[in-house]
Amino acid sequence: MSREFFGTDGIRGPVGVHPMTAEFALRLASAVARVLAPDGGTVAIGKDTRLSGYMFESALEAGFVAAGMDALLLGPIPTPGIAYLTRELNADLGVVISASHNPYHDNGIKFFDKNGGKLSDDLESEIEAKLVDAAITRDSRNLGRATRVDTAGERYKAFCISTIPSSLNLEGLKIVVDCSHGAGYKVGPRTLSELGAEIIPIGCSPNGRNINDGCGSNHPELLKLTVQGVGADVGIAFDGDGDRLIMVDENGGVVDGDQILYVLARARQASNTLTGPVVGTLMSNLGLEQALGSLGIGFERAKVGDRYVLELLRKTGGQLGGEASGHIICLDKTTTGDALICALEMLCVMKESGQSLAELTRGFERYPQILINVNTASRVDLDGSKEIQNALTDIENRLGERGRVVLRASGTEPVVRVMVEGNDHNEVVALAEELAEVVRQTA
């Protein structure tokens, strides 16, 4: 079955434009309840700090309660926290109201199963098939009830702290933490402070409209300036829903997800705790593959999207994977990308090794890689375009074995991503611009 609404990470789009309306959210909740909990059950609902989150929370609550499910309202909490609390609270499913790193005028809805994992493509298709039906309302005695969970943040904080050795703390570290005015604005600083670090918080004053606005993992410029300005040991940045991590070293150098994977894999190898291959994606830098290979560490590439990284980790028996964007999955600790848990492990590596973040990343040599996002009026059929395919083949032939080309349509927005990677920066830039222009002219 095809999927009209679900992309690579749930349903997402501009608020007020179908499908991101209150009416659709209510019908969606009803459809999900009929597919995943036809006999009733419990759903945990969390959100980030967008103004529209209140509206979607109310609509989803109404749809689930009317369908006979009890709703646990978690309030603003990171996406991985919702995955954890779905398991911890014995809920039948979890719901995240967030558009992740997108600006505030977008929002999204995604789901976790009772184990805290993403839904399969087949289940999402089954849910979409139910959307043609009207939302159901059971009789009064069979309605669900809604309850606010005031302890959600504290429960998630305690879980995050439990993932590092009890003998370790962060005393002596001066850390700038940028929470992107998003879901982690309370739990992030509180967790790091409780572990003994000196904290300089930025991006921790959400007003409903400033999420991801010039801050967070997508915009680390302010973090770089602050780290250098206050003489911090390290900076960490989350995205709006707290599942992406980007770091800044003591010199102001940005450390992305590929470099984080390298540091964690090498540290785990040294402590004999690395299991299976490291899993990246088609967009992972070739330098990561080569750096891990030099250490004798296996590396596999999945399709873009943390759900596909997770699938390949489970298939290969690996426990560590992620994307350059900062989605890092530590499968031995949690079921989804978790910026706070990943940051804690990175900070522990710094403490245990006595090395700075800049020192820990020195063995990673990045290949020049250019990514161009081409905005399109609608989704583009890349495979069906003869002009685009001819240009792609031509550029791949000219690049040969000296690099890679990845051309893909975003699963969450009308954007085509053009990535070219190779050993010559000028050539990579020229080829990426050439291919992007063909996409612009054709789309």
Q: What is the pLDDT of residues 51-81, one digit of tens each?
A: 999 999 999 999 999 999 999 999 999 999 9
What SS3 state is found at 16? coil
Whole-number pLDDT of residue 2: 59
Which positions are annotated as active-site residues? Answer: 100
Any domain includes 233: yes
One domain for residues 137 and 243? no
- Is 6 part of any domain? no
The DSSP call for residue 252 is: S
Q: What is the largest CA-CA distance in the chain?
A: 69
CATH code, domain carrying 341: 3.40.120.10
* CA 116/CA 104 separation, integer angstroms: 25
Q: Mean pLDDT lowest for which of 47-51, 290-294, 302-306, 410-414?
A: 410-414
Q: What is the pLDDT of residues 247-269, one digit of tens each?
A: 999 999 999 999 999 999 999 99
pLDDT tens-digit profile of 208-251? 999 999 999 999 999 999 999 999 999 999 999 999 999 999 99
- Specify whether 246 is located in the same domain as 291: no
Question: How far apart are the C-alpha atoms of 44 and 21, rounded to whole Å?
Answer: 20
* Domain span including residue 184: 173-254
The reported pTM is 0.91
Count: domains in the chain: 4
Of 366, 384, 409, which closes a domain?
A: 366
Q: What is the SS3 assignment for 292?
A: helix
